[in-house]
Amino acid sequence: MSVVATLDVVELDPHDYRTVLDHMAVETRPSPGIYLHVATRTDNGMRITELWDQEPGFRAFLLDRMIPATQAVRVERETDIAVEPIFNLFAPRLDEIPDLPARPGGVVTTLDVHGLTGEEYRALIDHLDVEKNPDPGIFLHICTPSAIGYRIVELWDAAKHFEAFLQRRLAPATEELRIDRRTDIAVHPITNIFAPRLTELPGLVPSLPGGPRS
Whole-angstrom distance, CA of residue 191 vs CA of residue 182: 28
Q: Is 66 exposed, middle or buried (0-12, 13-18, 19+ CB in 10 A)?
A: buried
Order of strands, sheet of 3-10, starting from the edge strand that comes earlier in the sequence: 79-85, 3-10, 45-52, 34-42, 183-194, 107-114, 149-156, 138-145, 88-90
* ∠ CA 57-197-81, rounded to 5°: 40
pLDDT of residue 38: 98
Mean pLDDT, consecutive 10-residue stretches, the chain (214 aa), reads 97 98 97 97 97 98 97 97 98 96 94 98 97 97 97 98 98 96 97 96 96 80
Question: Which CA distances in Å does 104 have to 24, 99, 166, 186, 189?
Answer: 27, 11, 21, 18, 9
* Class in CATH terms, 87-196: alpha beta
pLDDT of residue 213: 81
Q: For the chain, what are the domain ranges? A: 3-84, 87-196
Neighbours of 171 (CB within 10 A): 11
Do the domains 87-196 and 3-84 match in fold?
Answer: yes
Other residues' Cβ atoms within 10 Å of the Cβ of residue 78: 11
Amino acid code (one letter) for 177: L
**pLDDT recorded at residue 79:** 97
Q: 81 to each of 43, 93, 211, how far by Cα in Å?
A: 17, 28, 25
Is domain 3-84 annotated with CATH 3.30.70.100? Answer: yes
Single pTM value for the model? 0.95
